């Protein structure tokens, strides 16, 4: 298996942006621009936008994702959302372990692992984010950090379930900073993630996993990043909020 056989996934991570009416307007703008995409197109939106978003993309090739999910099906977890709730409203993908959740909301590899298993069990597709801090890169421990995250985040996840997993490599220093990893830096870590998966599972499993790059990816740098052998897509923040920019990235992944 090689890059050509993996599914490219371009996903917008809208973060805490867009009200339901704004979400509808943006998706209506994006839909005609990406209708001929030769890759999976996903918009991961705030919880309250989901119902409107699912309705807005009916009859299009855009899939809707959430930005987190809890590991329990129900219970006393104020402020949390379960996989069952997300499924019922038409969600297909769920972003997990984003660095903003790790940095600001106490997310750990242990909780990312629990969420990942719950999302897979529900038949949803997790987009599991990993990435090093600038300090960690400067200390030359990027590979240790990434290997640790992959081992812990996927602990007890079966080879069969790995077929439904997307991994996003998002160097924390490149998120929202305008500082993109070079295509070579992105490839180096994405290839390392694949090697790690090959050791944990098998080459066949590793070759089948879609690995995205995320961090200031935009219409100008997407083509070069996506041309790399182990970069199978993108998780896009800021540029996913501008229809033409997001569509240009989708186009870059569709060649
Ligand atoms: P930016 O594209 O705004 O840097 O955000 C990347 C990101 O965090 C996507 O999850």
75 CA from centroid of ligand 1 (Å): 31
Q: CA torsion, points 91, 93, 94, 95, in degrees to nearest 10?
A: -140
* Ranges under pLDDT 50 in the chain: 1
What's the token pair of residue 122? 């529900």
pLDDT at 1: 45
Query: Is the beta carbon of 217 within 6 A of some atom in ligand 1?
Result: yes
- Each residue's pLDDT tens digit, 220-239: 999 999 999 999 999 999 99
Active site residue 143: no
Q: Which residue is it, tokens 């900073």?
A: 177
Which of these, 48, 50, 30, lies nearest to 93 by C-alpha position? Answer: 50
pLDDT at 90: 98
pLDDT at 186: 98
Residues 246, 83, 165: CA angle, nearest 5 degrees: 55
Query: Is the beta carbon of 165 within 6 A of some atom in ligand 1?
Result: no
Give how far Cα 46 sits from Cα of 20, 86, 195, 212, Å: 9, 11, 33, 21
């Amino acid at each position: 298996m090689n890059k050509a056989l993996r599914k490219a996934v371009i996903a917008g991570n809208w973060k805490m942006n867009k009200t339901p009416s704004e979400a509808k307007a943006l998706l209506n703008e994006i839909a005609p621009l990406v209708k001929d995409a030769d890759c999976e197109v996903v918009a991961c939106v705030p919880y309250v936008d989901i119902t409107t978003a699912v309705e807005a993309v009916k009859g299009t090739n855009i899939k809707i994702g959430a930005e987190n999910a809890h590991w329990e099906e129900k219970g006393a977890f104020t402020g949390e959302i379960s996989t069952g709730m997300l499924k019922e409203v038409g969600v297909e993908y769920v972003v997990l372990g984003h660095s903003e959740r790790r940095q600001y909301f106490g997310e750990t590899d242990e909780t990312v692992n629990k969420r990942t298993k719950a999302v897979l069990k529900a038949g949803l597709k997790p987009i599991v984010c990993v990435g090093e801090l600038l300090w960690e890169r400067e200390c030359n421990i990027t590979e240790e950090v990434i290997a640790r995250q992959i081992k812990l985040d996927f602990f007890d996840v079966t080879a069969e379930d790995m077929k439904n997993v997307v991994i996003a490599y998002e160097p924390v220093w490149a998120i929202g900073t305008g500082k993109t990893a070079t295509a070579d830096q992105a490839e180096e870590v994405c290839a390392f993630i694949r090697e790690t998966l090959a050791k944990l599972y098998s080459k066949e499993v590793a070759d089948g996993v879609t690995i995205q790059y995320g961090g200031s990816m935009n219409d100008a740098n997407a083509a070069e990043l996506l041309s790399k052998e182990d970069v199978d897509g993108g998780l896009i923040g800021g540029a996913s909020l501008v229809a033409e920019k997001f569509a240009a990235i989708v186009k870059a992944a569709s060649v």
